[in-house]
Amino acid sequence: MLWLGSMEVTPTIVAIREKADAIRKAELERTLSGMSHLSDKEKKSIDKMTSAMMNKILHHPIVYLKQEDSHKDKKAKLALVRKFFNLDPENPD
């Protein structure tokens, strides 16, 4: 039954990662556009560093989502995390 719970949270985890990576890439592009003195190797290193930072920041929220809970608790947890990361902007409160 664990796989069923993980299937339930997978779309939220994917959405969190996609949103965070889009923000990371936009900020990286904005920053690097003003740093033409950097070599391609240096730019690649900065890209890897920001990706690693993003993964470390998202690690605990994703682990939290994957914890085994009752169905009711899982739904509440998903709703909270989706609101926290603003994953459903068409449904603002």
- In the chain, the number of structural domains is 1
49 domain-assigned: yes
In tens, the pLDDT along 29-39 reads 999 999 999 99
pLDDT of residue 1: 42
The predicted model scores a pTM of 0.82
Contacts of 77 (CB under 8 A, 6+ apart): 64, 65, 69
User: Domain range for residue 51?
Assistant: 40-85
In tens, the pLDDT along 10-22 reads 999 999 999 999 9
In tens, the pLDDT along 33-88 reads 999 999 999 999 999 999 999 999 999 999 999 988 888 888 999 999 999 999 99
- Give me the chain's average pLDDT, please: 90
32 domain-assigned: no
Confidence of residue 5 (pLDDT cuts 50, 70, 90): low
Q: What is the 3-state secondary structure (H, E, C) of the chain?
A: CHHHHHHHHHHHHHHHHHHHHHHHHHHHHHHHCCCCCCCHHHHHHHHHHHHHHHHHHHHHHHHHHHCCCCHHHHHHHHHHHHHHCCCCCCCCC
